Structure 1
Amino acid sequence: RKVQLPEEVQSFYDAGKYEKAQKYHKTKDRFSFITSAFSFILSFVVLYFGLFGYIDAFLRPFIENEIILSLAFFGVLFIVSDLLNIPFQVYSTFVIEDRFGFNKTTPKTFILDKLKGYILAIIVGGALLGVLIFLIYEFGSQFWLYFWAVGAVFILIANMFYTSLILPLFNKLTPLEDGELKKAIEAYSNKINFPIDNIYVIDGSKRSKKANAFFSGIGKKKKIVLYDTLIENHTTEELVAVLAHEVGHFKKMHIVYGFGISILQMGLMLFIMSFMIFNENLSQALGAEQLALHVNLIAFGILYTPISKVLGIAGNIFSRKNEFEADEYAKQTYNADQLKNALKKLSVDSLSNLYPHEAYVFVHYSHPPLLKRLHALDK
């Protein structure tokens, strides 16, 4: 880390804020190390003692139907895993984020979010898992073709209706009110001949002071969502520049390409799974006494991790390229300086890391670091 405030950022990052950002990332990195170590040790213990097989053996005498058995198995894992993670989530939200002035989540909101998450997991996750197990028993190793189709339809529906059906369960979405900002957005949309009708403000401030904006949906269901914290901390010109960036994602077909790539990745994953799902050795390796499809799904998840990591790196490279393209679109159709100002404010307000290691960026970052984005806009 660069301890001293570098000269190139002194124009927008004061020394006090920079020092606070250094402490924030140091605290988060230490906490991340502790949570990762705990997760690794727990995983090692579970694998060493064959606890996945123990859970399967415990449930089998009570449940004869294989689909219900699988749902119960993953239900137990979900509940135990979440209960173990709650202390870390509480500490992250109510201690670390609160210490650095970000947290706005109340205990009531935290608990309600948990309960809603459980309900969604039971309904959506349970339905998808049930369909997967049914197709495996029904079609054998050819199940992957049928579930690929099911998964593709699900991803399409999720993309189209996320802001209409899922997001309102956790946040309040309100149409952008008439005023200076709406007039500026309408003027910009007329300039680029892009109808922007569905602009919503989300009450992100009920959980955090951090700001964001995003584009979701396909076709007529597309929506642009602005965080209330974003509107509160930025000028009208900066907000239109952020909006122009989001429109750039749509104009450059990034949403469609992302949808297509996620479908292809899912197909590859299911195809590889089809060679492993009936391998009894995998079940026994995790402690089961017989072939158990749900245990094999766990084994597959473990063995697929290296492939998933490589695909994730490739996805991040693609995502960073998209961000540069969306920035360039905002520069060409609106104003580069206003977008730069918005990016600087977002970075300072969120205490972002201005100098992440390039190797870490290569593996983990879906967005380019701030200074690289600013340099690209200056070209």
Structure 2
Amino acid sequence: MNAEQIFHTIIGILTAQFIFDQWLDYLNHKTVKSNIPSELKGVYDEEKYKKQQEYKKANYSFGVLSECVSFIAIVLVLFLGGFAFVNELSAAVSSNSIIQALIFFVIIGFASSIMSLPFSIYGTFVIEQRFGFNKTTPKIFALDLLKSMLLSVLIGGPLMALVIWIYGIAGEYFWLYAWLLISSFTVLMTMFYTSLILPLFNKQTPLEEGDLRSAIEAFSVKAGFKLDNVFVMDGSKRSTKANAFFSGLGSRKRIVLYDTLINDLNTDEIVAVLAHEIGHYKLKHTLWGTITGVLQMGFVLFIFGLVVNSPLLSNALGVEEPNFHIGILVFGMLYSPISFVTGIFMTILSRKNEYAADAYANSFGLGEALISGLKTISSNALSNLTPHRLYVFFHYSHPPLLQRIRAINQN
């Protein structure tokens, strides 16, 4: 395979992915069932169901537009030699390969952010605002954007620099040392994200004393779960949508409840949702998710290590002298079909874990409360109750509400 064939392969992959995604989105958009299954009765009244359908339609139209713009932009950049041009700019600034790579990705990242910014603004301040979800102010939106960009530079930059430095000195064992570095970083982020990174965006406070905390502590004792603390996050500063999550490993584990969840659900429902999150920990889903991610990264880096020195990767984008940053960019595009397949297995595993966590909560007699809580969360978020099964298969990390209810009722 020559450089031209690699280039056309990249175009073919991007086109195939775009067409497939648009087809799935269309199937899901057209899936409207007038007869709601009996298990979902009462989630929406007639007026709210109509609002949900309007929300679904608005998001579909907006998604089509944004995805078309993104696809056209990347294809134009490829055909017009945009990446080669940015590479020349980077090389003109410095002859150091690490500095060149950092400048290259800063320019690409900044351009991508500028292009996506109007869509992000419209999605937040028009669509989410129209349907009553948005609580984000322009100030919070701007600060979030700035903080995200700074974190990318301050964390992603040094990490990328270390990987490139390893590439320059490690030879054929580059992939192994890079794997150890990235794996260590992944574990650290899993352990410390909620205590180091999340506070930059959201305030977390320990759940105050009261009936809810007493109920949670009583359940924790029953489940044999060492409860260091439960934190409440001010999710309401950005959205009315509710959520809860579990993160961390070992002594760094943490359960976080959105304040919107506490406002929307009663005590039994919140305990049931928390039992679901504890189920993830008890069943070692977080641990195995981290291990799986580390193993996947090792496989990717091993394959990349075999081809990184190939001049064909850089030549495919019009760059004569092979370099690391162009090589990893091309490799990422060529690897995307494999990533797509592995992603399917990961979403299947994720849905399986959600069923298992539901069953764990149900084993303590919390099934009805969990169903009630899930219905309220879905209703308040205007969730799609009847998504297309193929769209679910490829995109849903959580089972649809109907399938979760049926699984809980069968146990």
Measured against the shorter chain, the TM-score band is over 0.9
Q: Would the aligned equivalents of 1:198 and 1:223 in 2 still touch at CA under 8 Å?
A: yes
Q: Deviations over 1:191-217 (max 9, x none)?
A: 122121220000000000000000011
Q: RCO greater where, 1 or 2, for CA within 8 Å and sep 6 or more?
A: 2
Aligned residue for 1:321? Answer: 352
Contact 2:33/2:386 (<8 A) preserved: no
How far apart in 2 are the matches of 1:20 and 1:4? Answer: 14
Matched, 1:37 2:68: yes
Indicate if the aligned counterparts of 1:5 and 1:18 stay in contact, CA closer than 8 A: no
Q: What is the alpha-carbon distance in structure 2 between the residues aligned to residue 310 and residue 159 of structure 1?
A: 24
Residue 91 of structure 2 is matched in structure 1 by 60
- What is the distance in 2 between the residues matched to 1:12 and 1:77? 44
In the alignment, the residues of structure 2 paired with residue 254 and residue 59 of structure 1 have an alpha-carbon distance, to the nearest angstrom, of: 42
Q: TM-score, normalised by structure 1?
A: 0.98
How big is each residue's C-alpha offset from its partner over 1:342-375, in whole Å with a ceiling of 9 and x where there is no partner? Answer: 0100110111111111111111100000000000
Determine if the alignment matches structure 1 residue 262 to structure 2 residue 293: yes
- 1:50 is aligned, of 71, 81, 91, to 81
* CA distance in 1: counterparts of 2:258 and 2:123, whole angstroms: 22
1:375 aligns with 2:375: no
Give 1:172's aligned residue.
Answer: 203
- State the aligned residue count: 379
Q: 1:106 aligns with which of 137, 148, 167?
A: 137
Moved more, 141-150 or 163-172: 141-150
Map 1:176-325 → 2, pairs under 5 A: 176-325=207-356
SS of residue matched to 2:363: helix
Q: Which runs of 5+ in 1 are unaligned?
A: none
Q: 2:375 aligns with which of 344, 353, 378?
A: 344
Tell me the secondary structure at the aligned position of residue 92 of structure 1: helix
State the one-letter code of the partner of 1:2: V
Which residue matches 1:139?
170
* CA displacement at 1:279 relative to structure 2: 1.1
Q: Residue 12 of structure 1: CA displacement?
A: 2.8
User: Is 2:56 the counterpart of 1:25?
Assistant: yes
Select the residue among 87, 93, 97 that pairs with 2:128. 97
Please say if residues 311 and 320 of structure 2, whose CA atoms lie closer than 8 Å, have aligned partners that are also in contact: no
Rounded to whole Å, the distance in 2 between the matches of 1:57 and 1:195 is: 56
Counterpart for residue 81 of structure 1:
112
* Residue of structure 1 equivalent to 2:193: 162
Q: Secondary structure at the match of 1:79?
A: helix
Whole-Å Cα distance in 2 between the matches of residues 35 and 12 of structure 1?
30
Quote the Cα distance in structure 2 between the aligned partners of 1:351 and 1:76: 38
RMSD: 1.0
Structure 2 length-normalised TM: 0.91
Which residue matches 2:41?
10
Q: CA deviation at 1:7?
A: 5.2
User: In the alignment, is the contact (CA less than 8 A) between 1:143 and 1:274 conserved in 2?
Assistant: yes
Distance 2:123 2:354 in 1: 28
Measure how far apart 1:109 and its partner are. 0.1
Within 1, Cα distance between the matches of 2:264 and 2:252?
Answer: 28
- Residue 152 of structure 1 deviates from its aligned partner by 1.0
Q: Deviations over 1:138-163 (max 9, x none)?
A: 11232110011011111111011011
Identity among equivalent positions (%) equals 48
Find the aligned partners of 2:173 and 2:226 in 1 and give their Cα distance. Answer: 44
Deviation, structure 1 residue 289: 2.5
Tell me if the contact between 1:198 and 1:222 (Cα under 8 Å) persists in the aligned partners: no
Q: Aligned pair in 2 of structure 1 residues 51, 125: CA closer, same or farther (>3 Å)?
A: same
| Deviations 1:238-264, CA, capped at 9 Å, x for gaps | 000000000000111111110110001
CA contact (8 A) 1:53 1:289 kept: no
Distance in structure 1 (CA, Å) of the matches to 2:407 and 2:92: 62
Render the CA deviation track for 1:287-327: whole Å, top value 9, x for unaligned. Answer: 21211211111101100111111111100000000000000
> For structure 1, which segment, 4-13 or 18-27, has the greater mean C-alpha deviation from structure 2 after superposition?
4-13
Q: Deviations over 1:10-58 (max 9, x none)?
A: 3332111111111111111111111111111111111111111111112
Q: 1:177 to 1:361 in 2, by over 3 A?
A: same
1-structure distance, mates of 2:143, 2:319: 36
